[in-house]
Amino acid sequence: MKIKNWLMISYLLVMLLPIAAIYLLYISLSAYDQERDLKEYLDFQALATELEGELKEASLYKIQPEENYQHLHRLTGDNLKIDLYRYDGIQLFSTMSTPGQSHIHQEHQESLFQDLNEYQKKSRTYSLKKLVFDDTDRLIGLYEITLGRKDWVETSNQRTTIMFILLGIFFIALYSVVMLSLNRKLNRPLYQLQEHMKAFAAGKKLDQKLVQSKDEIGVVITHFEKMKAQILETRDALAKQQQEKEYMVASLSHDLKTPLTVIRTYTEALESHHLSKKEREEYQMILHEKLEYMKQMIDDLSIFTALQSSNNILHTVNVNGDEFFEMLFSGYEEPCSKKDIELNTELHVRNTYKLDPKQMIRLVDNLMDNSIRYTPNHHRIWMAAISSKRPLPNWVFPEFTDEVNAWRDDGTVMLIQNEGKGMKHSQLEKVFQPFYQDDTSRGKGATSGLGLSIAKIIMEKHDGKIKIWATENKGTLIACWIKERG
């Protein structure tokens, strides 16, 4: 739930729950009061009926000594009061009067004769006034019974105390629930996020993971995790690039050292006057080869650096499949014939592809240069471009067929397979690293070590992929996957 909605609901509950609690307490107390009132009313009614026979005695409503009313004292108690009045309002007797105190005085008749024959309920008492008549129906007096609601008052005070205690407990519980909810929903996630930010900024790692949620804080945490992952990925990439640069500098220095040494040695030898014409021509040819190798290495380095740049954008165009791949695979017959290598090509492609022709030519040049270099004389090289709808050629080494079929789903593959020594499995993981060469090639000026790295970058920029399969003492298969248009 969104924090905004959660807070609105929380505020509404905080406002409504106390009102609901007070209302429920009020309802329960009212129900109890009604039940209690009914019981007290019935008890008072029974008491009044019981006393009525004694209080209607006509002789009680004459002025007389207090001793004549002593029997009425026995009918009452601390919680019951009886008052007797004569017809003219003179109070004759009261059970609450102090002994020896004169109780004869006159009440105001208008107030005295109010609410006759009605059960009057007040906050602390029940009362009843009734007229008394003699045998001739002449008014002779009036009595008033007053019953104190002592139990109700005590119970009411207790209920009021309990009510305030319950309300206090309710408010404390409500406050605790709200604070715990706020801590769980806001404070704790924000504190954890703050701690993780501090730890990440300090380069530390916390074992406790951030709790993911679907609210606004969860969105912030998700963005923080993505940002952290991107920063870590960028940091690792920069570290890897730095390591690659250091390795490239070291490899370049090492690979240039041998041709420079040869150039220096043969240049000094050419300065000698004791060389024959044939020796001079041979030395000049060696110098030319070493200079060409150095030039090729610098060119490859320039291309590799340019392709790695984020500003390098492919200039892709729509090309006709048959015409483009036929052009792409042409021109390798002559270098193969120099080593008496048999070259076989095969094309089964789609009508249209979106590619950068210049980079694709560089890609195939690098791959074919490697294949021709490592193919012994009198052996074979196969080249093919096969769409996803066509089966692989039958010349693909059987041990590679299943893996290549699974790898080439929904794309056209360019295949370059050669017979030869093949590579070790330990080498397959390293061949795409810049300046990587096996021990037999390093230092001999065979290659710059950047050809396969350049090929890999070109395929990645085409949203494609490249992979090598090899079997020792049999041969190597290089496959490039190209996206097909719909």
- 270 lies in some domain: yes
- 193 lies in some domain: no
Q: What is the CATH number of the domain that holds 7?
A: 3.30.450.20
135 shares a domain with 55? yes
148 shares a domain with 10? yes
Q: How many domains does the chain have?
A: 3
367 shares a domain with 308? no
282 shares a domain with 319? no
150 shares a domain with 9? yes
Q: Which of 108, 138, 154 is the last residue of a domain?
A: 154
Output the pLDDT for position 311.
61
- 18 lies in some domain: yes
Output the pLDDT for position 446.
52
Q: Give the CA dihedral 351, 357, 362, 367, nearest 10 degrees.
A: -10
327 shares a domain with 297? no
Structural domain boundaries enclosing 129: 3-154
Q: Give the CA dihedral 42, 43, 45, 47, nearest 10 degrees.
A: 160
- 241 lies in some domain: yes
229 shares a domain with 281? yes
276 shares a domain with 388? no
Q: What is the CATH number of the domain that holds 432?
A: 3.30.565.10
Reading the chain (486 residues) residue by residue, the pLDDT tens digits are 677 777 788 778 878 888 888 888 778 777 777 777 788 788 888 888 888 888 888 888 888 888 888 888 877 777 888 888 888 888 888 887 655 445 566 667 777 888 888 888 887 888 988 998 988 888 888 999 898 888 777 777 787 788 888 888 888 888 888 888 888 877 888 888 888 888 888 877 777 777 777 777 777 888 888 888 888 888 888 888 787 777 666 666 766 777 788 788 878 777 776 777 787 888 888 888 878 777 777 776 777 777 766 566 778 899 998 999 999 999 899 989 989 999 999 999 998 999 989 989 988 988 998 899 889 999 999 999 999 889 999 999 999 999 999 998 889 999 999 998 887 777 777 787 776 666 555 444 455 677 788 888 888 888 899 999 998 888 999 999 998 876
Q: At residue 39, what is the residue type?
A: K
346 shares a domain with 301? no
Distance CA 223, CA 232 (A): 14
Output the pLDDT for position 437.
67
Output the pLDDT for position 385.
93
Distance CA 454, CA 433 (A): 10
Output the pLDDT for position 442.
47
Q: Which of 133, 154, 175 is the last residue of a domain?
A: 154
- 291 lies in some domain: yes
226 shares a domain with 266? yes
Q: 269 exposed, middle or buried (CB, 10 Å; 0-12, 13-18, 19+)? A: middle
- 202 lies in some domain: no
b/e sequence 228-247, b meaning 16+ C-beta within 10 Å: eeeeeeeeeeeeeeeebeee
Max CA separation in the chain (angstroms):
179
Q: What is the CATH number of the domain that holds 225?
A: 1.10.287.130
Residue 222 zone, left/alpha/beta (φ > 0; ψ -120 to 50; rest): alpha
The C-alpha angle 386, 387, 392, rounded to 5 degrees, equals 45
349 shares a domain with 262? no
- 429 lies in some domain: yes
- 185 lies in some domain: no
